[in-house]
Amino acid sequence: MRVAELSRLSGVPVPTIKFYLREGLLPAGELTSRNQARYDDRHLRRLRLIRAMTDLAQVPLAGVREVLEALDSDTMSMHDRIGHVHRAITPSRRLTADDSARTAAATQVGELVARHGWSVEPDAPALATLVDTVAMMRSLGQEHLLGHLDAYAEAAEHLATLEVAAVSSRPDPDQLAEGVVVGTLLGESVLAALRLLAQENASARLLGG
């Protein structure tokens, strides 16, 4: 397809496509003449992936570049590619909890990870996010809510196993890695929406008239 058709199918304006091409985020098309190139379904899939990251997950272009480099790597194992992607799309947040709460939170989270036997790198951004969140809950005097951490962990492990098994069944390594990215981004939105709906239902049953 020509760039105009690629733009129509993807919903991405032609100037934006040309910007992605200049930045190396989108691979070059097959030249058919000096000023014309032809594109295929790989370009369409990559465009949709970029827009999912930038529009849905608000991943900055630097993070998008890291994700795409990991997806296109010929030297990383699939596990390492997935880990690299997770680090690129996980926002770094620092919540304002006091030091004593953060120390207690780090201990609690470390024990949780060990108790469940999880294989987690110490520099995983999600680990820092969990520590900061638990610390903030402690600082706000909401320790009673932390009694559900193991239940959360069990539910998360069950879902993660289903998700990784689902994407690992894809025969194409590129589609497998892309599936992890899309599943992670969209999965966050799906889980957040389902949780809110379930809370509304529970509130109606337990608290409502």
Residue 46 has pLDDT above 80, yes or no: yes
> Span 99-125, mean pLDDT?
91
Would 40 be classed as within a structural domain?
yes
pLDDT band at 174 (very low <50, low <70, confident <90, very high): low
Identify the domain containing residue 128 by its residue range: 90-155
Say whether pTM exceeds 0.75. no
For residue 157, report the phi and psi dihedrals to the nearest 5 degrees: -65, -40
Is residue 117 left, alpha or beta, with left meaning phi > 0 and alpha meaning psi from -120 to 50?
left
Would 11 be classed as within a structural domain?
yes
Domain count, the chain: 2
63 and 117 share a domain? no
95 three-state secondary structure: coil
Percent of the chain with pLDDT over 70: 93
We report the CATH number of the domain holding residue 50 as: 1.10.1660.10
Q: Does 13 or 178 have the greater pLDDT score?
A: 13
Would 160 be classed as within a structural domain?
no
pLDDT band at 13 (very low <50, low <70, confident <90, very high): very high
20 and 49 share a domain? yes
For residue 164, give the nearest of 149, 184, 189, 186 by alpha carbon: 184
Would 205 be classed as within a structural domain?
no
Region of poorest pLDDT, from 20-29, 52-61, 119-128: 52-61
Residue 200 has pLDDT above 90, yes or no: yes
59 and 97 share a domain? no
Q: What is the DSSP letter of 76?
A: S
Please tell me the predicted confidence (pLDDT) of residue 55: 84
Question: Which of 110, 128, 155 is where one domain is finished?
Answer: 155
Residue 155 has pLDDT above 80, yes or no: yes
Is there a contact between 8 and 19 (Cβ–Cβ < 8 Å)? no
Q: What is the DSSP letter of 91?
A: P
For residue 181, give the nearest of 46, 43, 9 by alpha carbon: 46
Please tell me the predicted confidence (pLDDT) of residue 209: 61
69 and 19 share a domain? yes
